[in-house]
């Protein structure tokens, strides 16, 4: 798989993860969840947990990819012969 494709998929997963976190927070503060009782709390907590599980590893991977790109650029600049 190409790096650009992997990065694009991971960015999409990260956005979905953030959306699930926001949805879980919204559900936790809504009247519907209060009426559902324990199942409502589990639903909102599940959305938040799934959102965090989807967003955190992708952010770490993207950080490593960007760090490697920066290191490649700086090492190429260091090894460039003087003109």
Where are the chain's structural domains?
A: 12-74
Q: In the predicted model, is pLDDT for residue 27 greater than 80?
A: yes
| Percent with pLDDT over 70 in the chain | 93
Number of Cβ within 10 Å of residue 7's Cβ equals: 15
**How far are the Cα atoms of 12, 36, 75, 80 from residue 68, in angstroms, in the given order?**
21, 48, 10, 18
Q: Are 51 and 24 in contact (CB under 8 A)?
A: yes
pLDDT digits 0-9 by tens, 36-83: 989 999 999 999 999 999 888 777 777 888 888 888 888 877 776 665
Helix axis angle for 3-28 and 38-78, nearest 10°, is 150
Alpha helix (H) residue ranges in 1-83: 3-28, 31-36, 38-78
Maximum Cα–Cα distance across the chain: 73
């Amino acid at each position: 798989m190409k790096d650009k494709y992997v990065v694009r998929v991971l960015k999409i997963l990260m956005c979905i993860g953030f959306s699930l976190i926001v949805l879980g927070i919204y559900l936790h503060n809504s009247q519907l969840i209060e009426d559902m009782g324990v199942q409502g709390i589990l639903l909102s907590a599940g959305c938040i947990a799934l959102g965090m599980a989807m967003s955190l590893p992708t952010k770490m991977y993207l950080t490593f990819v960007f760090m490697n790109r920066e290191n490649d650029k700086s090492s190429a600049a260091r090894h460039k012969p003087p003109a």
